[in-house]
Amino acid sequence: MIESAHQDATPVRSARGVLDLSGTTLIDRPSLVEEQLLKTKGVIAAEINVFSHRITVVFDPSQIDLDKIKAMITLGNEARSL
């Protein structure tokens, strides 16, 4: 786990997950997917690599888990955890 801090300097535990977006249409809209994830409570960072077709998400596991993140971003498309 990675430790990071919120703006108030309170330490927060975070986890990192990588999802494979190959074969989905999500890779065509990387900024939209990142923007939507960053609005989600518990998501600290999100970055899509359009070349590898993967999204890396840093999140607070006490607020959200990777399965919920995966469910949010797939919207009928298939994403696989790496």
Q: For the structural domain made of 2-81, what CATH number should be given? A: 3.30.70.100
Each domain of the chain, given as residue ranges in start order, spans 2-81
> What are the counts of helices (DSSP H) followed by strands (DSSP E) for the chain?
2, 5
User: What kind and span of H or E run contains 60?
Assistant: none
Q: Is the pTM of this model over 0.75?
A: no
4-15 pLDDT per residue, tens: 444 455 666 899
36-59 pLDDT per residue, tens: 889 999 999 999 998 998 999 999
**Taking all residues of the chain, what is their mean pLDDT, rounded to a whole number?**
79
